[in-house]
Amino acid sequence: MRRAGWRRRTSPARTRGIDRRGGFTPPGPSALRRSALTPVFLYGTLLDRRILARRSGDPGLPRAMRPAVLNGFRRVVFRGTPYPTLVPSPHGQVEGALIRPAASAVAALRRYEGACYRLIPIRVHGPRGPVLARAWVVPRRMAGERDWP
């Protein structure tokens, strides 16, 4: 029997998507809804309109892409893969695009990106000025030193 006001305790690690064994736990529906409200900055393979449409499950999403620039970061290879990631760099600049995907598209893109990539908050310069957005990146220890083409 539960007492009034009783609440199940959640560890801080669990709220960040890491279970007690160190593995990844997928985000809940509310996290996906929050992600859908925030623009997503694309800077790699998802800039290809065909890949974005196919992987997001939303054929109209590529038409909603808007150019954007991320300052203070550099696009490098994700070590051991042909894919890019971002690393902080004081004089770096990455050109990309902004999208506002629906929750279902965010979930599909999250599956495409895989468990290593995490959505982090960033500030990009869009067509109308600075914009708070999110971008998928891997932990710094998994990033290579070589620039991504």
The string of pLDDT tens digits covering residues 117-143 is 999 999 999 999 999 999 999 999 999
Of the pLDDT bands very low, low, confident and very high (cuts 50, 70, 90), residue 34 is low
Mean pLDDT over 56-84 rounds to 96
CA dihedral 42→46→49→54, nearest 10 degrees, is: -130
The strand ranges marked E within the chain are 40-42, 66-78, 84-99, 118-126, 129-137, 143-147
- In the chain, which ranges are continuous DSSP H helix? 12-15, 29-37, 49-56, 103-113
Mean pLDDT over 67-88 rounds to 97
**Domain annotation for the chain: domains and CATH numbers:** 28-140 (3.10.490.10)
Closest CA to 47 of 109, 124, 90: 109
Strand-pairing partners, residue 129, are 126
pLDDT at 28 (0 to 100):
54
pLDDT at 36 (0 to 100):
53
The string of pLDDT tens digits covering residues 99-112 is 999 999 999 999 99
